[in-house]
């Protein structure tokens, strides 16, 4: 019979290391396809992100260029051409800043050309999609109010002007909205309600052209 062979600590360590290396090699051999697939997935994901960013930038540039063209057409009073350009921005470049601006300008052009249903539609679209822009949302509500007023719908118009005031309480156009709301309320014979807006103008815009016009209009209409 042979006696038991006693392994030294060094041999035990070497044996464990050999076992570890063989096991690791086997694991790599068994799993290399998964590693390759994982690497390919990561590369494809990065490529997709880069492609998406490039497309977004291209969309923004093209949309901005087309919007600029529409602005030039609008200033040249080529309203139909401008509206066609703006609609192309909305159709092909939605989600860009150009689309936001195109929505507002479409409402403005339709208002100026007295196409009130379309003006209201675009202004409502603006307040629905871009409410975060408070100044233009208020201006859009005022645009709706103007369209309603021009159709003799003074009650609805005064309400929309007051909605614009609620958004743009102390903004650069707040005084104008108060004046417009006052005018419509006076046309309805609602002097007390109109006075609230007149008081705002007197208190905040004393000595201005708007305050003088408000005093004349309020004094004239409230006596009737």
pLDDT greater than 80 at residue 224:
no
pLDDT greater than 90 at residue 217:
yes
The domains located in the chain, with CATH, are: 56-130 (1.25.40), 134-224 (1.25.40.10)
Of the listed ranges 1-15, 22-36, 100-114, the one predicted with least confidence: 1-15
**DSSP class of 105:** H
In sequence order, the 6+-apart residues with CB closer than 8 A to the CB of 113 are 79
**DSSP class of 95:** T
- Tens of pLDDT, residue by residue over 70-96, are 999 999 999 999 999 999 999 999 889
In sequence order, the 6+-apart residues with CB closer than 8 A to the CB of 103 are 90, 122, 125, 126, 129, 130
What pLDDT shows up at residue 30? 58
pLDDT greater than 90 at residue 210:
yes
Higher pLDDT, residue 6 or 201: 201
Q: pLDDT band for position 61 (50/70/90)?
A: confident
What pLDDT shows up at residue 53? 42
- Tens of pLDDT, residue by residue over 134-172, are 999 999 999 999 999 999 999 999 999 999 999 989 889
- What 3-state DSSP class applies to 113? coil
pLDDT greater than 50 at residue 216:
yes
- Token look-up 């139909």 returns 80
User: Tokens representing 52?
Assistant: 């998406």
């Amino acid at each position: 019979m042979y006696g038991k062979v006693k392994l030294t600590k060094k041999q035990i360590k070497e044996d464990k290391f050999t076992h570890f290396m063989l096991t690791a090699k086997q694991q790599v051999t068994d799993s290399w396809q998964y590693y390759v697939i994982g690497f390919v997935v990561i590369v494809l994901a990065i490529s997709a992100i880069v492609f998406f960013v490039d497309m977004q930038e291209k969309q923004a540039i093209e949309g901005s260029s087309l919007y600029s063209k529409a602005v030039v057409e609008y200033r040249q009073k080529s309203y139909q051409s401008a509206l066609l350009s703006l609609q192309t921005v909305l159709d092909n470049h939605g989600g860009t800043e150009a689309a936001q601006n195109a929505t507002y300008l479409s409402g403005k052009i339709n208002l100026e050309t007295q196409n009130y249903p379309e003006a209201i539609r675009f202004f409502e679209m603006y307040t629905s999609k871009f409410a975060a822009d408070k100044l233009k949302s208020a201006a859009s509500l005022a645009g709706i109010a103007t369209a309603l007023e021009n159709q003799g719908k003074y009650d609805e118009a005064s309400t929309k002007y007051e909605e614009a005031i609620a958004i743009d309480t102390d903004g650069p156009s707040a005084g104008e909205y108060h004046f417009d709301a006052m005018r419509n309320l006076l046309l309805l014979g609602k002097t007390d309600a109109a006075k609230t807006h007149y008081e705002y103008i007197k208190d905040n815009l004393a000595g201005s052209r708007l305050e003088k016009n408000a005093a004349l209009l309020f004094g004239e209409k409230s006596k009737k």
